Amino acid sequence: MEKNSLKKALKEGMLGEMDSVVLYETASRNADGEVKNFFDQRAEEEKKHYNYLLALYKQIDGGEAQPEKILDKRNAEPFSPVISPEFVKRIGKDQVLFSAMSTAALLELRSIEFYRKKKEEAADPALKKFFGVMEDWEKEHYETVLKIQEEAEHHYWEINRFEPF
């Protein structure tokens, strides 16, 4: 991947990560307790993604990209929230939070596809690994968000009773 193409890709990735940060921070302001903690922790994870991309971008501007040094900083322990029935109910009964989960699923899926594409385009093995790690990280997020969304959907329909506007 040529230097300018890589820089453009990293900027696109940073924009996507910032979308996720804003979404999770906004949802956090509309939540409390364990739901607020979930959104706060997710926002912090997305900030890490953004900062990894930014660090690689700065390396390129410095002359030499060394993505393996950035990956060494990643905490290998994934964030796995405990999803209680009460957590799921609180998501399902709050339209803002339910919509945030739906949007989050779409953003996470878009990120997976973005990083997968960049991994495939990269010729450098270190860049392939970098984008692969980012893709896997987003897959973890997507699977969690999708599970919450699917479980909360039952409560959403139950609470809203399919009533028209």
Give 25-80 as a DSSP string. Answer: HHHHHT--HHHHHHHHHHHHHHHHHHHHHHHHHHHHHHT---HHHHHTTS-SS---
Q: Say whether pLDDT at 77 is over 70.
A: no
Binning pLDDT at 50, 70 and 90, where does residue 79 land? low
* Predicted local distance difference test score (pLDDT) of residue 156: 81
Residue-wise pLDDT tens digits, 28-57: 999 999 999 999 999 999 999 999 999 888
> Mean pLDDT over residues 45-74, rounded?
81
Which structural domains are found in the chain, ordered by start? 3-159 (1.20.1260.10)
| pLDDT for residue 6 is more than 70 | yes
